[in-house]
Amino acid sequence: MSRTGRFSTALRNYARRQIEHLGAADIVVGIPAYYSDESLAHVIRMVKEGLEHFYPEKKCLIIVADGGSTDDTREVAQDVENHHFNMDVLVTIYRGIPGKGSAFRAVFEAASYLRASAVAVFDSDLQSIKPGWVRNILDPVFNGYDFVAPDYSRYKFDGTITNNIVYNQSKERIHFVDLSRSEMADYVQDGSVFLVSNFRIPVFEEKLRDRLNGVIEIFFEFLKNFSQAQGDETFDARMALGLARSFYTSTRFEMNPEFAKEMYLRAVFLLEKVFNHQERPWDAFKLPNHVLYY
């Protein structure tokens, strides 16, 4: 079987068998997890309490989609007691590229097979989650809405606090978006985060990597054209700083030491370029955009 064929589904065989045994469910709640043994049990308990309290008559499945954690994440999830007759908990390692995309794929595959009426997803490290969150996310769906996203109030310079998905109903496609900044002046920083988020995907097969590089190139050209339309003369210099920050901080997500080193060296290279440009006009700085491609 080809390597691509292996990942035609995000669900492993044992997970598919359990889902097939269930047959159907009214509600599926997905919890993407990775090294979450200190926080996951609390999230599962809050979700269970919410389902038991607000939807006691509905058949529910909680699926913990783990990215291959080597701590006690899965054991912690399996140890959470479940005595509700109408609720099941499935703990599985998903197939595919590590990350929320593959975790969500596993959750949505399960929901599709079970013909669920509503699907919710919650992060595995939520400390403030309450049972009422389950109702807040699911009730609008049962009342006719297609998509529900949380609305947070926060200081405008706070970092990212949630990942969101956008559903294009006309094309039946899901887009994953990191929402982090709140003002137009931050677009260069946001752009650098998106560019490096694509770069750091640990895919090294040539054709797939070419596709990633294509996405990076198209988005960078969009940013460059936008900056020119705005008369933004220091775009290149600020983008270099943003990319350096994103490359450096992304090393903490990468378990492949050689790939992590690549990002670290690119961060150092960009910072040196910026440092060496001091005492000269910043509108004359030119971004060495070859660092965007791997």
pLDDT digits (tens, 9 = 90+) for 247-273: 999 988 788 899 999 999 999 999 999
Per-residue pLDDT tens digits for 199-229: 998 888 999 999 999 999 999 999 999 999 9
Q: Is 184 exposed, middle or buried (0-12, 13-18, 19+ CB in 10 A)?
A: exposed
Flag whether pLDDT at 276 surpasses 80: yes
Mean pLDDT, rounded, for 48-71: 95
Asked if residue 52 lies in contact with residue 40, where contact means CB atoms within 8 angstroms, the answer is: no
**What's residue 150's pLDDT?**
76
| Mean pLDDT calculated for residue range 121-138 | 92
CA distance 72 to 113: 29
- Residue 186's pLDDT band, with cuts at 50, 70 and 90, is low
Integer Cα distance of 13 and 106 in angstroms: 12
Mean pLDDT of 144-173: 62
Conformation bin of residue 115: beta by default, left when phi > 0, alpha when psi is -120 to 50:
left
Distance (Å, whole) CA 203 – CA 134: 35
In the chain the domains, ranked by start, together with CATH numbers, are 3-169 (3.40.50), 184-292 (no CATH)
Q: How many CA atoms lie within 13 A of 153 on its CB side?
A: 0
Average pLDDT, rounded, for the chain: 86
Of 149-158, 166-175, 226-235, give the lowest mean pLDDT range. 149-158
DSSP 8-state class, residue 115:
T
**Angle, CA of 9, 14 and 18, to the nearest 5°:** 100
Cβ(166)–Cβ(175) under 8 Å? yes
DSSP string, 132-173: HHHHHHHHHHHTT-S---------TT----EEEEEEETTTTE
Give the pLDDT mean for 20-33.
95
Q: What is the largest CA-CA distance in the chain?
A: 71
- Kindly calculate the radius of gyration of the chain based on its CA atoms and give it in whole angstroms: 22
Higher pLDDT, 182 or 220: 220
pLDDT value for 166: 55
Q: What distance in Å separates the CA atoms of residue 144 and residue 141, rounded to the nearest whole number?
A: 5
Angle at CA of residue 31, ends 26 and 37, nearest 5°: 140
Confidence of residue 21 (pLDDT cuts 50, 70, 90): very high
What are the DSSP calls for 26-76, one per residue?
SEEEEEEESS-TTTHHHHHHHHHHHHHHH-TTS-EEEEEEE---SSSHHHH
Contact 41, 77 (CB under 8 A): yes
pLDDT of 180 > 90? The answer is: no
Q: Which residue has the tokens 């997905």?
A: 30
Coil, helix or strand at residue 89: strand
